[in-house]
Structure formats: structure tokens, C-alpha cells
Structure 1
Amino acid sequence: MSKRTGEIMTRQLLDWGVKHIYGLPGDSINELIDDIRKEDELGFIQVRHEETGSLAASAEAKLTGNLGVCLSITGPGAIHLLNGLYDARGDHAPVLAIVGQVTSTSVGTDAFQEINLERMFEDVAVFNKRAESAEQIPDLLNRAIRTAYTEKGVSVLIVPDDLFAEKQKEEGHLTAPGYFRPNMAPAQEDMNEARKLIEQAEKPVILAGKGARGAQEELLSFAEKVSSPIILSLHGKGLIPDNHPYCLGHHGQIGTKPAYHAMKETDLLILIGTQFPYPEFLPEGVPGIQIDNKPENIGKYYPVTAGLAGDAKDTLHNLTSSLTGTKDTSYLKKQQERMNEWRIALQKEKREEKTPIQAPQVMYQIEKNMKPGAVVSTDVGNVTVWTSRFLPFIDQKFLISGQLATMGAGLPGAIASQITHPDKQVLAICGDGGFSMAMQDFVTAVKYQLPIKVIVLNNEKIGMIKYEQQQMGHLNAETDLGSMNFAKFAESCGGEGYRIETFEEMETKMQQAFISDKPAVIDVCIEDMAPLPGHIDYASAVNYSQYIIKNFFETGTMDLPDMKKAVKRMF
């Protein structure tokens, strides 16, 4: 029996475990839309902007490890997909984009909305093919999905819209659905070299990332065996509880002071499941061990001495079993004492009771309302620092645009999280700059009755850029944003809106919003303050001082509060 090619594709997607697709209908994808419409098991999530669709697909893939799927028309719709697809590429998330094209007889004729899709997607995709005939499509779809899983990247399948409508037999295709994961283990000589380095080290430190997810128990057992503190990459937030005695928090520009000093003093760096891309924050002249299941990643950002190409869970288990362990815990205890002091300082900052409200105070209120197992989708900017530093995770899950660091990812991530995990509490924490880049899709949350809570830190600034300009010694330029009441916007979308302007009203309104079972925006007016790093290097301090001087001569005022904090964190 013959079926429409689009109908065959929908069944294939279901066979691969796909439950829904993010996108917008349009004239070069409408034939497939009609087949999706008829398939009750395959949901279609209509977004208001294709970028939201691709960012949501990327977020779902990061959160679950499963394929995220989005679609668009050719031309403008396809162009809108790019940001979310590059986000997936940067964070190694398996995503499939099905992109319509003008009819097969019109390809190459400069038809309305036609662009060279293959050329446009070439850089972002690990699989990038246009179907020439309907008979090719089922096999191409299987190859696209398998490649996305294998390469942990973006696959793009381009189909002229008329081909979806052509009928063909469902049987007789060359390929089948299914991806079979390899079981990789390090070479024994590499394990021996790693064991030798560990047993010689007196001050080892672990830097762990998202590649260690699923290996938390093995990670902690290994850290205990070698008496090593654990520093987390941003993607690794939530990997172990933030209050765990072995945890030193994050590293880099968003990092903690204890993490900075531990890196400075270590005599062995152990990288586990991370591609930490900031070599200036890593030690110099110190041997390194790296565990990664992609051999091409080993040594990519740090000149490691021993590379262990294998799964983090099995590799850590085998490595721990082969070690005799150490009785000297002095280095670990020194770092733990520093971290305890750091945590006390953060608690004091979070619990201050004053207006204007500061971002750490908001994080404290979120902490009190956040449930176990919640999913937190964080936007990019100052909000990244406030969330990673001041919002402690126990068993919550964290979503962020990491390598690409695109603003506007917070809301799409929350939409995807709530669709994927309907029974979990889902939060988006955004700055006013990031939220305003994607806020039109708050309507999508309302339409699908997704009870997400969007906390907007509203300082009417592009705060991170303002701080970066100051850190470079420049005067601020074009970082002010217009005033916006996001609570009223949320109400106009049919959701709930809560505007918080003083400290006294924050606790009550925050509780009201979290109790509600409707999508809500919590618009918190905060003081503009710089997200100073845990440790400030000399060059940054000098440049910041230059900004202070220039600002004084331009305005007659001295921006001193942040500078006082900066001096404290230098020592």
C-alpha cells in the first residue's frame, strides 16, 4: 500500500522516539504539516519565532540527551533557525532541522523566498542534504538522525515541499532506525600513566563538566580516594550538590575565589567530561589527565600528559579501583576551609534586607521557592553569574547556552523543559535584555498552559556589556535599555504578571507567583551592579581603575561601591 512521503516520515520520527516538533507552518513546509496534523502521537508545538523553535529543540536535547526536532519554511524561516542550531552545535546537542524548500521544479530558478539552503547550513551541520526525490527521503531521514546522535550535533534535511505529498511504498528502503552507542575504554598504558600521575600528586584538583553526568557516584568516590576538591564548569552546575564538602563551585569569570586559588596551587589537573575553553584560567606547567569519550577532544584546550578516551562512569570506576588512595588530606582541607568562608560571605550578601533590590537577594527568594528536581533555564549575561554563584542546587537541573552564549535562550529553554517534564517545576531566570529578545513566545507558554515561572532581573541595562566595557577601561556606550513593565506584558499575553519594586514586597509576591499553576512573569526591579569575578587579576583592576577616573572627569561622580568589592576579592 502506498503512503504519502510525509506520512512515512512522521511514522519514522515516532519510531525514533520523537514526541513533538517545534516550528511554524508555511508554504514550503505545509505538505508535511498536513501529515503531522493527522498523527495524534506526534505533537506540533507552534512557536511565534523559528529561533524559539530551534533554541527549544536544542534545550530539549541538552536536557534529555534525546533528539530535539524543529522545522521551518525556506528563506526567512530557515534563516531564523540558525541561532538555535549554532547553540546546539556549540553544546554538542543532537538536533534535527527539517527545512522546506520551493517545489522541486522551481529549485534553482530564483523562486520566491528561495535561498541556497545547503550553503547556508554547511557550517552548522554535521549532516546537510537536500532530497532530490521522494524515494530518497526515508533513508536520508534515518541517516540524518543517526548522524545527529553519533556526532552530537545538528542534522539538516532539506525537502522541496511537493516531495512530501508524493506517494511511495513504505517498505524497501536501504536503512533502518536505531543508533547503537559504542562502549569505549581507555588503553591500559594510558590508565597506568594516569595512575602514576595521581599517586605522585600532592595537590590534585578535579575540573568536571556535563560529560560527567550519570557518573556522579563514581566522581565522588574518585575524589574521596585521591583527596581532591571538585571544581565545576558552568555546564556542570548541579552535577554534585553545591553544598557538597568537595565542591569548590565554578571556575573562570563566573568562578569562586576558592576555585581560583585551588587552580593556582594544584600540582595535577584532572579534567573529567569538560571542554573548558578558557586556558587563561587553567594552571601553567602542571601535568594533566583528561577523561573524554571523544578522543579528538583530549588535549584540545589543555596540554594533558595522560588522555583517557572512554566513558566517565566506567573509566572513573576502573581508575578508582586501581588506586591505593592517599592519607594526606591537608590540601583538600585547606580548600574546604576557604570554601566555607566563601559560602558564609555569599549568605551575608544574599540575606541583606534593603531597597533597591540587588540580584543576590532575588536568588535567595528563588532558592526558598525552588522545588527538588526543578529545571532552571538561565539566560546569558549578568544573570548567568547571579544564578551560578548565588542559587545553590541540590538535585536541580541546569540549562544554559554555553559555548555560543546567546542571549534569549532562557525562555525557549523553559518552554522545552516544561513540555518534556510536565510534572516538574520549571523556571527561567532572565535579564531584561535577554528576555526581551524572545519574550514574544511567552504567548506560547500561555497557549499550551505551561506553568513556567519567568524571573526577569530588570535593571534597564545590558548589564554584562556595561561591566565588560568598564573592565576594559572604557566609558559605557549604548548599554542603557528603555523602561519596560514585563508584568503588564505577561498579563496582556493571558498569563500572570508580578511587578516587584521594593524588598518589602518581594517575598509575598514571589510566593504568590510560585503557588500559581499558570505561566507567570516575575518582573523584579534590581539595582545595577557589576557581577565581579571571584578573583580579580591585576590587569582587570588597573583597567577598572581607568574607567573610574574617566567616569569622574566625564560625570563628576565616582562609581566606588563595586571597586571596594573588587579590592576585597583581589586578596
Structure 2
Amino acid sequence: MKQLAESVQAAVVTTYTARSLFPNDHPQYAGGLGQAGSEASSALLAESDLILVLGGTWWPDEYTPTQARIVQVDRSPGHMGIGHELELGVVGDLAQIVPRLLELAAAKPLDRAAWKQRVAEAAGAWKAKLEQEAGADASPMPPQRAIRALSQVIAPDAIIAVDTGDHTLWFNRIFQARSQEILISGTWRTLGFALPAAIAAQLEHPERQCIAIAGDGGSVQTLMEFQTAVQLGLPIVMVVMNNGCYAMEKNRMTGSGLQTLGSELVNPDFAMLAQACGGTGRKACTGAELEKQLSEALAARKPCIIDASVAPAVVPHTKI
């Protein structure tokens, strides 16, 4: 993928679970797709006249263009044209088709220096903005700082199960992926997904770090499965982004002048609950504390819940 992008000097935009398939620090990487992605990706997509979709099916209407010609490559015929019209659909294995595309690009090289410069400028400005967002620390910590802490500590080959909530968007906006495998509930957006997913991942890959990242509202849906992790001796670490509310819903209500009834939460002490189940409980109120607690928890290789106190900040472009 990297070689193909460099060959045609294209901007690269990834879907949520594909973040680690392309170097996030590459000058042509423009971030994720949709509200959870980047302003740079939306701008560059809107300026493009041809978009090559490799194995992706998610096409959020408000963040993707309608004017560009789209060529889609996928091994499943049923995935062709989901959410958008196609200029051309190619059914096949990317492992065979991408090398062929490289051959075609090499046979007809184009001078795209101006576009390459535009991509680098947009992506560079975006990454500078993220550094500013994620650099500020406080207590409770900004969600951007919390995600940056995760990005700096989690191993490159870890498996990360991300629950559903406003932290899902913050994660895709801020997290700098390396080779991690990212699991989400992509179709049903299920609350409580992260913990059981992390348990399953740890059973399948006992040698790898398996981390569950969940909001307080999603955590309580399946929280007693932590007892299962303790019984099985699984060294998963669950980070609870605790902001005392269903922040996505509350912020939408507030922004629209609605009553926030039902959006606020009265939470248990997640660290003490972990201890009551026979695991380890930790707390963090700042990004620096979260980095320390997460590093120690991962090194201990025991089931652990980290209760991370996070501010209920509004995700950009939030609307009802």
C-alpha cells in the first residue's frame, strides 16, 4: 500500500480498523474517515478527481465527496458500490491486484508534484493541530490527552478493543497507530463490546497485549465479565474513560438546547470493583498519571481496570 501511494503520489485516508495498515507519520497520510477522522482527509477527498478504494466499505455521506470518480477493489462482489456509485469495480485479492497497479503506475509515470505538495501541507497542518490538542494536560484530563497516553504506551503489536461512545471518535482522531490490531463493533455500535472482545482476543493471542478501551456508560453493560478475565487469569487491561455521562448524547442535547435528562451517570468506583473481582484496580486523573498506571499495569501481566477521569469534551462537528 505504501509503495503504491508513493508511486502515484496520492493522499491516503483510512477507515477505523485500517489505521495501522499505513504509517501514520507518513507525509501522505491524511488521517481517518468521517467525524472520527480528520479535517484534512475530508478536504483532500473533496479536492480529488479519482478515489481508489482498497477493501473498504464505509462511506459516510457528510464527509465523502460526490464529484469524484471511484474505483473500488474488493474480493467480495457484494461489497461493490455500497454507499456510492462506481466508475469501476474490480473483484479480486488485493495481494494480487496491488502489485499489478504498481506495474501500471510505473509504466505511465505522472508529474504530480503540486498535488503531492498539497497533500503534505494539509496532512502536516492536521498533525500539528493534533499535537496541540493532545499536548494539554489537566485534571480531569482532556480526552485527547488520554488517547495520546494510550498511543505512547501500548505496544506496537497490541490488540485494542474499542467500545462505543465519544471515546470511539477521540481514539480515531488522536491515536497514532503502528502495527496494532484495532477491534470495534462496526455494524451495530454495541455498548459493552470492548471487554468481552478483549477477553476473546487474549484467549486467542496469549502472548500479546490486549487492551479494552471503554466509556463509563459502555463499561457497565458488560463489566462483570471482568470476573471472567480474573477466573481465566487473563492479563487484559481495561481503561475506563470516566466522564460521568453519555457524553456524545449529552453534548448533542446541550448543543441543541435540549434537556439532558438521562445522559448523566452515577458510577461505581471502577478500581475498587476490579479489586472486588480479584483483579487490580488503578486510577488516573491526568495524562501523565495514565501513562504511568498503564505502563505498570501492562508490565504486571494481571487483569486490571484503570479508572481514568476524563473531561466530557465535545467532539468536533458534533450535531444532533
Give the TM-score range, shorter chain: over 0.9
Cα 1:268–1:371 change in 2 (3 A) is: same
2:233 aligns with one of 449, 456, 477: 449
Structure 1 gaps of 5+ residues are 1-218, 544-571
Contact 1:485 / 1:499 at 8 angstroms: preserved in 2?
A: no
- Identity, in percent, stands at 28
SS of 2:20 mapped into structure 1: coil
Output the amino acid matched with 1:350: A
Residue in 2 aligned with 1:466? 250
| SS, match of residue 187 in structure 2 | coil
C-alpha distance in 2 between matches for 1:520 and 1:412 = 14
Taking the aligned partners of 1:314 and 1:488, their CA distance within structure 2 comes to 52
CA gap 1:310/1:508 in 2 versus in 1, 3 angstroms: closer
Structure of greater relative contact order (alpha carbons < 8 Å, 6+ residues apart):
2
Which residue matches 1:259? 41
Q: Which amino acid aligns with 1:367?
A: S
The answer for the alignment partner of 2:128 in structure 1 is 344
Say which SS state the counterpart of residue 467 (structure 1) adopts: helix
- Larger deviation, residues 312-321 vs 438-447: 312-321
**Cα distance in structure 2, aligned partners of 1:300 and 1:292:** 11
The residue number in structure 1 matching 2:29 is 247
Q: Does 1:524 align with 2:308?
A: yes
Q: State the distance in 1 between where 2:95 and 2:253 align.
A: 42
Aligned with 2:277 (options 483, 493, 501): 493
CA deviation after TM superposition for structure 1 residue 421, in Å = 0.8
In 1, the alpha carbon distance for the partners of 2:251 and 2:291 equals 29
Deviations 1:282-328 (A, max 9, x none): 21232111111112221221111111111122112112212312222
- Give the drift of 1:472: 5.0
Partner of 1:6: none
| Pairs within 5 Å for 1:42-441 | 219-323=1-105, 324-441=108-225
The separation in 1 between residues aligned to 2:184 and 2:239, in whole angstroms, is 15
One-letter amino acid of the structure 1 residue matched with residue 104 of structure 2: S
Asked whether the 8 Å contact 1:446–1:495 carries over to 2, the reply is: yes
Inter-CA distance 396–347: structure 2 relative to 1 (3 Å threshold): same
Q: Which amino acid aligns with 1:480?
A: E
3-state DSSP of counterpart to 1:252: coil
Question: Whole-Å Cα distance in 2 between the matches of residues 472 and 335 of structure 1?
Answer: 35
SS at match of 2:296: helix
CA contact (8 A) 2:23 2:178 kept: yes
1:471 positional shift? 5.2
Structure 1 residues 321 and 278, CA gap change in structure 2 (3 angstroms): same
Q: What TM-score, normalized to structure 1?
A: 0.53
Amino acid at match of 2:89: G
Following superposition, the deviation at residue 522 of structure 1 comes to 0.4
Larger Rg, first or second structure (1 or 2)? 1
Any idea what SS the aligned residue of 2:21 has? coil
Aligned partners of 2:92, 2:133: CA distance in 1, in Å?
A: 42
How far off is 1:450 after superposition?
A: 0.6
Change (3 A) 1:232 1:470: farther
Q: How big is the shift at 1:485? A: 0.8
Distance, in Å, in 1 between the alignment partners of 2:21 and 2:286 is: 34
Corresponding residue SS for 1:242: coil
Report deviation, 1:229.
0.8
CA contact (8 A) 1:288 1:305 kept: yes
Q: Which amino acid aligns with 2:77?
A: P
Shift in Å, 1:367 = 2.3
- Distance, in Å, in 1 between the alignment partners of 2:257 and 2:92 is 44
Amino acid aligned to 2:15: S
Contact 1:431 1:457 in 2 (8 A): yes
2:28–2:123 contact (8 Å) kept in structure 1? no
Partner-residue secondary structure (3-state), 2:260: coil
CA distance in 2, matches of 1:308, 1:440: 46
8 Å CA contact 1:225, 1:326 repeated in 2: no
Question: In structure 1, the residue corresponding to 2:223 is in which secondary structure?
Answer: helix
Q: Secondary structure of 2:281's partner?
A: strand
Which whole-Å deviations, capped at 9, do the CAs of 1:60-116 have from their partners, x for residues lacking one?
xxxxxxxxxxxxxxxxxxxxxxxxxxxxxxxxxxxxxxxxxxxxxxxxxxxxxxxxx
Q: Residue 482 in 1 paired to residue 240 in 2?
A: no
